[in-house]
Amino acid sequence: MAEEKLFQEFSPVSKQEWIDKATADLKGASFDKVLRKKTINGNVQDPYFAPEDVDTTIDWSQLKNLIPANQDAEQGPRDWVNYQKITVADEVEANKMAHKLLGFSVTGLIFDLQSSRANCKKVDFAALLKGIKCDALAISFTGVCCAEVVEGYFAQVKAQGDEVSKLFGFIAYDPIATFTTGGKLEEQWKEELVKVHQLTAASPNLKSLTISGQEFVNAGGSHVQDIAFTLNKWVQVLDVLTEAGVTIEEAVKNTHFLMGVATDYFHELAKFRAFRLLAHEIAGEYGANFPTSAFEITAISSLWSKSFLDSNVNMLRNTTEAMSAILGGVDAICILPHNEMFEAPTAMTHRIALNLSHMLKEESYFDKVVDPAAGSYYIDNLSTYLAKEALALFQRVETAGGFLKAFDEKVVQAEIKEVREFQEKLIRQRRQVFVGTNRYPNMMEQLDPAKYVECADAEDHLQPRYAGQTFEAMRMATEKFVAEGNERPKVFYALYGNLAMRRARANFAGEFLSTAGFDSDEAYFDDAVTAAKESAQKGAQIVVICASDEDYTASAEAFVKEFRANDLHTTLLLAGNPTDVADKLTAAGLNGFVHVRTDIVSTLTDLQRILDIVK
């Protein structure tokens, strides 16, 4: 079929012409500073991509043939398992939840045995699986401590008359993941790994070589690190199995990847495309020639991207995570309930999480296309970059002795810490927005400080964290202060002068200070002196002056002097950065400034210290 040329009357525009036009429209502002940004993966992202940006060394147009495609024409070309995870603290209660989820059209169940890990050899599978036909949907297990658990599962499957050969899902016995997140690497882990692999030989669709990458995402790592370190772990495990006499074909065929997914939509989408291609290449280096579609990936929503504050926003974060994972070509998704990080999920929050997949399939038709990202210059460019950078990092780790050696020497921890601190800096500067956390706080929210658990720092292992934890800790310190019977600190905003600027300054300062949980009140005044007198009588712990720079030059000093004549103790701030009068205002008794360059965390922490909220 001949290629049809559309809109031939329009001449092609080169990328440089586009940049020149954008630069002119910026009217003197720097193109690089305004429109280019550095990502957590080390690349500088352009705002526009053209055919000349596509690296032809990787032919991404072929990916549509590599992403798993469903052969059932009635279901559409794409299908995926819609998992929900159930934490097994009590087998009977876990079984009840499983039956509720089956009523919500779940297509896969993940039973997490981690919470009872010390006794996981004694899991009561009869109670856990009562009334569940195990060969009719994907049944998977995480937190598996040994091969004995798998034996117990198979024994129950046979006892209730289900067929072991028809089981599908995955068994997550991942001793390296346990080790990297603070546990011990058991002495017999290699033998147990081989035994688990052998036990599942009779169930070809139940994958027992599960390689987890979610710990890298939850510790604040980059997409490049997530890809590379997960593949390093895989190679470490492949070597163990092949040394024990398992063929590489058997090992690769039994592999399942359990990967975290966060909210950086396009980067996450590209991550899965790049990962699938590199897994195919690495298997090929071992001599295992499997199509890329053969590598099973389950994407599980991350802890890193969630927030305790305004937790309903987590539903939106879950949505974008599900979208990028599905469009990136995963085989299964597990979207965790939006409230899981601070309380036991209910049937309703499980249902909300499940319905994301239902909506994307039944209403948005994500199952009708195999690879809608194909042909996007941006996504192809990003996929290529992630693949090349991840391969380079993977090779560095392998050259240095492999994943476990790199982890023992704290190389992995240091790499991830550097990226995490870069992300936390962006969040502190509010250049990376977490709605309800570092921007747009929900002051109507009723928060229980007892439910909040701050994730501790760790140098020797990968500690799961919330990205916005610094802001959460500040807010919860105030909430705890109030819960102990103290009055919520109040900020009064004194507005005068230029109408537009006083409103803008009050809005900015209000959002800035509300992230720490401070209450607010405001009033408009005709002049600075009146504003100062009235503000001093409001009984607020903090007063903020809000006006224009011109008003500050003309009368802010008079405001400060009048205020201090009536009140010597209340903290007095000014919204803005009037450098021409800053020294005079400070000398007159102003305590500080609130503007875009103010370090929000240190400023709010200092205010909390003054108010005896923190020591």
**Do 109 and 140 meet the contact criterion of CB atoms below 8 Å apart?**
yes
Residue 493 identity (one-letter amino acid): Y
> Does some domain include residue 208?
yes
- Residue 1 has a pLDDT of 46
The CA-atom distances, in angstroms, between 262 and each of 174, 304, 325, 407, 464 are 22, 7, 9, 23, 13
**Do 501 and 531 meet the contact criterion of CB atoms below 8 Å apart?**
no
**Do 334 and 84 meet the contact criterion of CB atoms below 8 Å apart?**
yes
Structure tokens at 199: 């036990």
Both 343 and 413 in one domain: the answer is no
Both 444 and 530 in one domain: the answer is no
Both 291 and 438 in one domain: the answer is no
Domain that holds residue 19: 15-48
Among the three residues 443, 460, 479, which one is the final residue of a domain in this structure? 479
Per-residue 3-state assignment (H helix, E strand, C coil) for 237-298: HHHHHHHCCCCHHHHHHCEEEEEEECCCHHHHHHHHHHHHHHHHHHHHHCCCCCCHHHCEEE
Residue 196 CA to residue 176 CA, distance in Å, equals 15
Both 338 and 424 in one domain: the answer is no
Closest Cα partner for 513 from 452, 592, 580? 592
Work out whether strand 592-594 and strand 44-45 pair parallel, antiparallel, or are unpaired.
unpaired
Both 411 and 387 in one domain: the answer is no
Both 500 and 475 in one domain: the answer is no
> Does some domain include residue 65?
no
Q: How many domains are there within the chain? A: 4
Which distant-in-sequence residues (6+ apart) come within 8 Å of 70 by Cβ?
76, 77, 78, 79, 367
Q: Where are the alpha helices (DSSP H) in 137-222?
A: 147-159, 175-180, 189-199, 214-218
Residue 97 CA to residue 309 CA, distance in Å, equals 26
- Residue 453 has a pLDDT of 86
**Do 319 and 330 meet the contact criterion of CB atoms below 8 Å apart?**
no
Among the three residues 370, 394, 418, which one is the final residue of a domain in this structure? 394
Both 263 and 309 in one domain: the answer is yes
**Do 230 and 216 meet the contact criterion of CB atoms below 8 Å apart?**
yes
Both 447 and 311 in one domain: the answer is no
> Does some domain include residue 6?
no
Both 596 and 573 in one domain: the answer is yes
Residue 458 identity (one-letter amino acid): A
> Phi/psi of residue 394, each to 5°?
-55, -45
Residue 492, helix vs strand vs coil: strand
Within 10 angstroms of residue 48's Cβ, the number of other Cβ atoms is: 12
> Does some domain include residue 29?
yes
Which distant-in-sequence residues (6+ apart) come within 8 Å of 186 by Cβ?
175, 192
> Does some domain include residue 5?
no
Both 120 and 252 in one domain: the answer is yes
In angstroms, what is the C-alpha Rg of the chain? Answer: 28
**For position 524, which CATH number holds?**
3.40.50.280
For the chain (length 615 residues), average pLDDT per consecutive 10?
63 85 90 90 88 77 59 66 95 96 96 73 92 96 93 96 96 95 88 96 96 97 98 98 96 98 96 94 93 92 96 96 95 96 91 96 89 84 94 97 96 96 94 94 93 84 93 96 97 97 98 97 97 96 98 98 96 97 97 95 97 94
**For position 265, which CATH number holds?**
3.20.20.240
> Does some domain include residue 615?
no
Both 251 and 137 in one domain: the answer is yes
**Do 509 and 594 meet the contact criterion of CB atoms below 8 Å apart?**
yes
Residue 587 CA to residue 612 CA, distance in Å, equals 25
Read off the DSSP letter of residue 451.
Answer: G
Among the three residues 332, 364, 394, which one is the final residue of a domain in this structure? 394
Both 435 and 458 in one domain: the answer is yes
- Total-model pTM: 0.93
> Does some domain include residue 485?
no
> Does some domain include residue 67?
no
Residue 541 CA to residue 282 CA, distance in Å, equals 62
